[in-house]
């Protein structure tokens, strides 16, 4: 156990209004240990230092809960990779219905393993593409929050995410220094997809370069034309 990392997680979470229980802290410790162990065989993350895992993966994920609006009942995490930000948010809010979407089967295998190890319920992990999920009538406009970290340009991400959101839901997109430029370029796409830029929050974490969180609201239904077939949104962004 890295007590310094855990203390930072507790203190920063408390400053954001989140109180972590002993059970939740045990889940985060197990998450970090399994991430490091699996990463020896499967390329899940370049971040393997425990302190960095707690800051760049756990805190970076929990931060999103400050900006998702009223307590959501469902969240879909696109391009989930090793589970960020979806699984830390599920640990924070156990009642959250969560779907993790990841196109690489080896990463989905890790997600299934981790869900079992953490004894989480109300979580699914699927090996598929965002475009496929967005065209599924059982998933479309079902979720109150969509998250996606380091997945695509905001124009592309909006086409992936907005079809999955209920009216009034939010798309949360962590971005780097390009956040404002991407948001400006995505304005026509947001209009076409039923979205609206709500805000861009600066993000500051210990030892991490300043970044931003783009928050997009779903204000109108998304046309059934979107998302376009697999590969088209990234090749021809709106």
pLDDT of residue 2: 56
Nearest of 192, 141, 189 to residue 167 by alpha carbon: 141
How far is residue 124's CA from residue 76's CA, in Å, rounded to a whole number?
10
Residue 1 has pLDDT above 70, yes or no: no
Say which residues have a Cβ less than 8 Å from residue 229's Cβ, sequence separation at least 6. 131
Residues 195-214 have a mean pLDDT of 92
State the pTM of this model: 0.94
- Per CATH, the number for 69-235 is 3.40.50.150
Instruction: Domain ranges for the chain, please list them.
Output: 69-235
Contact, 160 vs 130, CB < 8 A?
A: yes
The model's pLDDT over 137-165, given as tens digits with 9 standing for 90+, comes to 999 999 999 999 877 899 999 999 999 99
The model's pLDDT over 62-115, given as tens digits with 9 standing for 90+, comes to 999 999 988 899 999 999 999 999 999 999 999 999 999 999 999 999 999 999
Is 19 buried (19+), middle (13-18) or exposed (0-12) by CB count in 10 A?
exposed
How far is residue 13's CA from residue 5's CA, in Å, rounded to a whole number?
12
């Amino acid at each position: 156990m890295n007590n310094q990392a855990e203390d930072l997680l507790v203190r920063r979470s408390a400053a954001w209004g989140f109180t972590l229980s002993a059970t939740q802290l045990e889940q985060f410790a197990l998450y970090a240990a399994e991430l490091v162990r699996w990463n020896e065989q499967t390329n899940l993350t370049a971040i393997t230092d425990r302190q960095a895992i707690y800051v760049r993966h756990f805190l970076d994920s929990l931060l999103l809960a400050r900006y998702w609006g009223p307590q959501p009942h469902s969240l879909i995490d696109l391009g989930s990779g090793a589970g960020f930000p979806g699984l830390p948010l599920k640990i924070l809010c156990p009642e959250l219905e969560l779907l993790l979407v990841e196109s690489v089967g080896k990463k989905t295998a890790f997600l299934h393993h981790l869900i079992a190890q953490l004894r989480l319920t109300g979580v699914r992990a699927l090996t598929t593409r965002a475009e496929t999920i967005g065209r599924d009538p059982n998933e479309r406009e079902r979720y109150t929050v969509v998250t996606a970290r380091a997945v695509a340009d905001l124009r592309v991400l909006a086409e992936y995410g907005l079809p999955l959101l209920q009216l009034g839901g939010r798309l949360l997109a962590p971005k780097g220094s390009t956040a404002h430029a991407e948001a400006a370029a995505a304005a026509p796409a947001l209009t076409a997809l039923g979205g609206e830029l709500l805000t861009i929050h600066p993000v500051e974490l210990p030892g991490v370069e300043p970044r931003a969180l783009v928050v997009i609201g779903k204000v109108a239904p998304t046309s059934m034309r979107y998302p376009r077939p697999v590969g088209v949104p990234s090749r021809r962004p709106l």
